Chains A and B, each alone.
Chain A
């Protein structure tokens, strides 16, 4: 019986051959039809417009499955996490979700060892270029890619890749993918205060609407769901300002284990509380 790491290596090389065989094409098509049926069922109820994800558990997954020992790639957990990310984004957009936001790299993550930070910077640059490639799935879906965060803190190659991805997709009219890098909510609020104060002319006062207009997320609807995988219950400085009426979910699977059924479950959970959260939100907006 093969070990988990052997199976993942086989899967990886199989996917990298681009699935050109007839059988895989047919199974891909069948999978697409089944998902379409499933999403049609879910669409009887409200579908979240904006799903935000804290992708927690890559390193624990790698450790648990001894990937770090078996593989010469110390970023193996994060690479598998990236595969979960791509499939989750694809399924979300197929379901009708308009915005997906992911917490890719926190300002706090700079505290990790310099080797790990450099590894993550290189991996991010590689994956940003993959995501925004002309022949990639995101361009096919007309996805607009945003990067939220203090991008000046990134290494130059990563920052330039992020800027190129934003420039390439700025005119896309499809769903939006926002990637939070070098981001914390408190840093975002600080930046919004700076921008709002610098805009003030004379006697004006900063209003809440000014701050909201200067957030990185300005123009994007507030998240309906924030999913943090691996069962952790904190938000770790992610979208704190935007999540007043967001359903917070913390499913137990580690991020590389997160799959379609977990996403479907998340939407079903959201549908159970939708009416309550909508009522609360409307109540506050009425009082403004």
Chain B
């Protein structure tokens, strides 16, 4: 029995590696196809990518891996592209709050610093400023679950203030609009993004505020270091063609 497992383990290991080689080959092929599509888009041969209808894209979110987010010039470049395309509201998110600490860098690197109005950095609050005519909101992990807890405490204090014997017997009853109002009262009332781009090794939202993700389309873009304008254009074009049932 022991001898069988000694023989079987390396064989299983070899087959396991083979399976993963196949997965890697499929990924390489998909990446190649994607690169060719990006090349065609950036050549301008396809007119449909020249004027994208952004009416349905009111708010765009970008989740960036915190290690990638340390590359301020890349983040700034991405914001410039989004502004040029015509995006009006961008929510930048990284889990560790690296971009919150870097907001002054975006101000300094802007072509016209007077176009950028920054608020003071507060680690547990969203940061909102204007850049190239586009509103930029920067959030991090503390703007998610902890914000909901803050909202819960706000609702609790109101509930206790409005104590009524009849109501108390039934216990607190809140609706989703109540939660939204509470989040607004505690300063965490950012809009729900229509589209969320993930820059990093995996398609994962890394703690983006749950209350704002209900119907958000989530697209994985790969590492920030290899970001391409044509890839962003393609995603925005695909989004403009999307149809949602909202459960119907």
Which A residues have a C-beta under 8 Å from some C-beta of B? Answer: 40-45, 106-112, 184-187, 189-190, 193-194, 196-198, 200, 205-208, 210-211, 233-237, 240-241, 243-249, 265, 268-269, 271-273, 276-277, 280, 283-284
Contacts and interface: CB of A to CB of B under 8 A. Distances in A.
Interface string B165-183: 0000001111110110000
Size range of the chain B interface in the assembly: 35 or more
Contacts of B12: 40-41, 43-44
A244 B206 contact: yes
Interface of B: 8, 12-13, 15-16, 19-20, 23, 95-96, 141, 144-146, 148-149, 151-153, 155-156, 159, 171-176, 178-179, 200-207, 210-211, 213-219, 244, 246-248
Contact of A185 (B141, B174, B214): B214
The 5 closest A-B pairs by CB, nearest first: A108-B247, A240-B210, A273-B202, A44-B16, A244-B207
A208 B151 CA distance: 11
A124 B218 CA distance: 30
A276 B215 contact: no
A194 B171 CA distance: 8
B200 to A, nearest CB: 8
B16 A42 contact: yes
Contacts of B176: 186-187, 190
A246 B213 CA distance: 14
B41 to A, nearest CB: 19
Contacts of A206: 149, 152-153, 156
Contact of B244 (A41, A184, A234, A277): A234
Contacts of B219: 233
Contacts of B211: 186, 189, 240
Contact of A234 (B149, B217, B248): B217
Q: Residue among B96, B145, B179 with the most chain A CB within 10 A?
A: B145
